[in-house]
Amino acid sequence: MSKKAIILIDDFYQDMEVWYPYYRLVEAGLDVQIVGKEANQTYRGKCGYPAVSHSAAKDVKGTDFDLVVIPGGWAPDKMRLCKEMVAIVKDAHDAGKVIASICHGGWMLASADILKGKTATSYIAIKDDVVNAGATYVDAEVHVDGNLVTSRKPDDLPAFMREILSLMGV
């Protein structure tokens, strides 16, 4: 049975931070779903690239997946307003699933209240949000703290995916 992953999505996602992980995870043999506020909805990235959600957040449980990926861009600021999306992250984290956040994805980690006592990185513009949510901030291309993988920006995607795939055992 293959491992399962979800990538959370909303409008103005950072295009590379969705599609690079998506295809690397598929290539590694994971069953990957894109989850938005609504199922079968087209969401557009910052560069306009479309992504169609497979599932609606209200129909998904974080505990049913091995990995949750939170891309950046401005999408996390919209995602954090959806209580079901926040619950996916919180429930998956509490169940010990791998949570991977890049760039502005740290906003979702803060809203899910899972940063207390953790060490994490993010895009520098949200450093204060990460620290105010209880984390120790590090400026690194990738940081792993238990089941939490964080990175700063698209340039960090190779290191981000290397750590995710290592934690996933693939």
What single DSSP character describes residue 93? H
CA-CA distance, 50 to 36, in Å (whole number)?
A: 13
In whole angstroms, what is the distance from residue 103 CA to residue 101 CA? 7
Active site residues: 104
Chain-centroid distance of CA 37 in Å reads: 15
Residue 50: count other Cβ atoms within 10 Å of its Cβ. Answer: 9
CA-CA-CA-CA torsion sign (10, 16, 17, 18): positive
Cβ–Cβ < 8 Å for 35, 8: yes
Quick count: other Cβ atoms within 10 Å of Cβ 147? 19
